[in-house]
Amino acid sequence: MEDGFPIIICQRRVGFGGKIFNSFKFRTMIKSTLTEKICIQATENDSRITKLGRFLRKYALDELPQLLNIFIGDMSFTGPRALLLLEAENYLNGGSLDITEIPGYATRITVRPGLTGIAQIFAPRDIPRRYKFKYDFLFIEKMSFLLDLRLILLSLLITFNGAWEKRHAKLRFLDRRKNRKQ
């Protein structure tokens, strides 16, 4: 609506065993980001995110088309985030590192990527990948139906509270509920 077509984008992502698949999402960034050679992770207050994109991200609505990826079998509801092919880790000094060179990348692709996971819920969105990978390793180590159920329920609570873009406070609403009960 704000920036024209395409509304849904198809991104090449790395899945289980390093298999490349097409991931579907609602586009939340300005059109010029579609032609960038290397994908740079969005940061807090990123000027590339459209007004409608901010709303979609706040409630994780931009992820809805990925339900198709789950039904196809390229993704699951829970797991590490599916990485872009040409994603780079950025450093404060201006350097970058290919995502495949980050220690633990090979371990991370031994499971199917997910719509939500430990890193998406508990890690600030814009921390370096090498730290997010530690959350992903914890997911791989603790994988179970009960963990999946907990992650899905937490994700739904965060979504209904519109807290996905609250970098350090996604779960703060749980603290408010605890305080009311005391």
Domain assignment present for residue 124? The answer is: yes
Total domain count for the chain? 1
Domain assignment present for residue 1? The answer is: no
DSSP 93-151: TS-EEEGGGSTTHHHHTTS--EEE-HHHHHS-TTS-HHHHHHHHHHHHHH--HHHHHHH
Q: What is the largest CA-CA distance in the chain?
A: 52
Domain assignment present for residue 23? The answer is: yes
For 181, the 3-state DSSP assignment is helix
Between 52 and 80, where is the model more confident? 80
By residue range, what is the domain housing residue 120? 8-181
- Please count the CA atoms within 13 angstroms of the CA of 177 that sit on its side-chain side: 6
Domain assignment present for residue 69? The answer is: yes
147 within 8 A of 116, measured Cβ to Cβ: no
Q: What's the confidence (pLDDT) of residue 38?
A: 56
What mean pLDDT value characterizes the chain? 79
* pTM passes above 0.85: no
Q: What's the confidence (pLDDT) of residue 30?
A: 61
From 50-54, 84-88, 148-152, the region with the lowest mean pLDDT? 84-88
Under the banding of pLDDT at 50, 70 and 90, the label for residue 144 is very high
Domain assignment present for residue 2? The answer is: no
Q: What's the confidence (pLDDT) of residue 69?
A: 96
Domain assignment present for residue 3? The answer is: no
